[in-house]
Structure 1
Amino acid sequence: MAGSVWTALELSLSCISALSLISPAWFQSPTFSFGVFTYCSWPQSGSWNQSCGTFRSLDDIPDFAWKVSAALLLGGWLLLAFNAVLLLSWALAPKELCPRRGSGKIPVVQAAAATTTIVGLLVFPTSLASPFAKEACGASSVYYSGHCKLAWGYGTAILNAVLASLLPVISCSRMTKVQGRTILFSNDTEKIILVPEISK
């Protein structure tokens, strides 16, 4: 049961992370919004005539800090997705096939994914000093968004990184078990015999 809940959490975090990565709503002005890999613009009149574009490769991304952030965020998402697929395969596989399921490097991969994502999120606002961001946001600079405001895509990515960083902590506390002891009474010797509990 706990493995299924854990797998569902991992899959949910992977999907939310992917949604925030493809979202163009990280920073938004009245006529323009952009995210890590996509951007959109619309007329000042507020009509629904919206045009969007995508940065198809790292070469298309306009700033070096933006490229570093995109690589880190994509790497964090790939680690998170790999972890989710591994947990899903363990949850669906027969117990005889995977007797040691849940042990190993799962918390380490999860922690690496969370760390990579957090570093990518910290680097991304330095790209507000790029010519692309200055054109969209006016007088923007490093960690200052000018006329743009923080949008839901960046907020979702931050929340997702916090939740992803909490999962390894929960995993370590869930895996730690206190060694129990069984108390047996012997009628012959009238002594208490302590026997280590055997896990089933």
Structure 2
Amino acid sequence: MRDYTGSMGSALAFCLVFISACGLVSPAWFQSDRFSFGLFASCSWPVGKAWNQTCVAYRTLEDMPDLAWKASAALLLGGWLLLALQALLLLSWTIFPEDFCPVKGRIPTQYLQVASVITTFLGLLLFPCSLASHVAQNACGPSAVYSSGRCHLGWGYITAILALLFTSFLPIIWRFQGDKTRKKKILYSSITERIACVSNR
């Protein structure tokens, strides 16, 4: 019989991986009326024709405009990989029987999640430093570190922040569920002991 909590945990983890990926690949972390840029791409379009966008992708760290941008990309990608690794571990423990997974329960996946949260938080905190880059200044005018000029937050950066918040809250929820499960086991154990004592008489 499969562990229902493990199934729910892996499903939630993969949902978070997908939401985080949508935020990371979005070219709309900061945007103005004619330009937008994200972690791995920047786009421009004629006035009033947002549907006719021309985008440039940053395929390597060397393509990114400045050091803060590169460091933020490395941290955020690392946080996403840690979250994806945790989701794969939870899925494998849910699918395969315990006989085929002798390390089940021995690898503390909550540590992977905490490391993912910390790494992602640092990456999101560092990215606004890249508002001083030439790409940000071309898009936002007089932008500087933590000053977006004429730009405003786009849906990509907000999605990445929401994914971080959800990832932060999940360990608390799982711990609460684990405490409830342990209490139920203790209750069932005490009831079984009472029945055994009565039957021995």
Q: For the superposition of Structure 1 and Structure 2, which TM-score range results when normalised by the shorter chain? A: 0.7 to 0.9
Question: Which residues in structure 2 correspond to 1:160-179 (within 5 Å)?
Answer: 160-176=163-179, 177-178=182-183
Is it true that 1:13 corresponds to 2:16 in the alignment? yes
Question: Which residues in structure 2 correspond to 1:80-119 (within 5 Å)?
Answer: 80-98=83-101, 101-119=104-122
1:149 maps to 152
CA distance in 2, matches of 1:166, 1:26: 23
CA distance in 2, matches of 1:86, 1:152: 30
Instruction: Flag the 1:93–1:63 CA change in 2: closer, same or farther, 3 A.
Output: same
Question: Which residues in structure 2 correspond to 1:17-36 (within 5 Å)?
Answer: 17-36=20-39
Is it true that 1:38 corresponds to 2:38 in the alignment? no
The count of corresponding residues between Structure 1 and Structure 2 is: 189
**How big is the shift at 1:57?**
0.7
Greater percentage in helix:
2
Q: RMSD over aligned Cα, in angstroms?
A: 2.0
Deviations 1:136-188 (A, max 9, x none): 10111111111111011000000000111112223333334347362535699
- Structure 1: segments with no counterpart, 5+ residues: 190-200
CA distance in 2, matches of 1:188, 1:139: 84
Work out which of the two has the higher radius of gyration on C-alpha atoms and give 1 or 2.
Answer: 1
Q: TM-score, normalised by structure 2?
A: 0.86
**How big is the shift at 1:21?**
0.7
Instruction: Flag the 1:136–1:72 CA change in 2: closer, same or farther, 3 A.
Output: same
- Tell me if the contact between 1:107 and 1:172 (Cα under 8 Å) persists in the aligned partners: no
- Tell me if the contact between 2:28 and 2:157 (Cα under 8 Å) persists in the aligned partners: yes
Residue 42 of structure 1 aligns to which amino acid in structure 2? Answer: W
Residue 168 of structure 2 aligns to which amino acid in structure 1? Answer: S
- Tell me if the contact between 2:34 and 2:50 (Cα under 8 Å) persists in the aligned partners: no
CA distance in 2, matches of 1:11, 1:44: 38
1:76 maps to 79
Instruction: Flag the 1:159–1:187 CA change in 2: closer, same or farther, 3 A.
Output: closer
Deviations 1:77-117 (A, max 9, x none): 00011111111111111233236634532000011001100
Instruction: Flag the 1:138–1:26 CA change in 2: closer, same or farther, 3 A.
Output: same
Instruction: Flag the 1:188–1:140 CA change in 2: closer, same or farther, 3 A.
Output: closer
Instruction: Flag the 1:171–1:100 CA change in 2: closer, same or farther, 3 A.
Output: farther
CA distance in 2, matches of 1:131, 1:51: 18
- Tell me if the contact between 2:36 and 2:42 (Cα under 8 Å) persists in the aligned partners: yes
1:137 maps to 140
1:197 maps to none
2:57 maps to 54
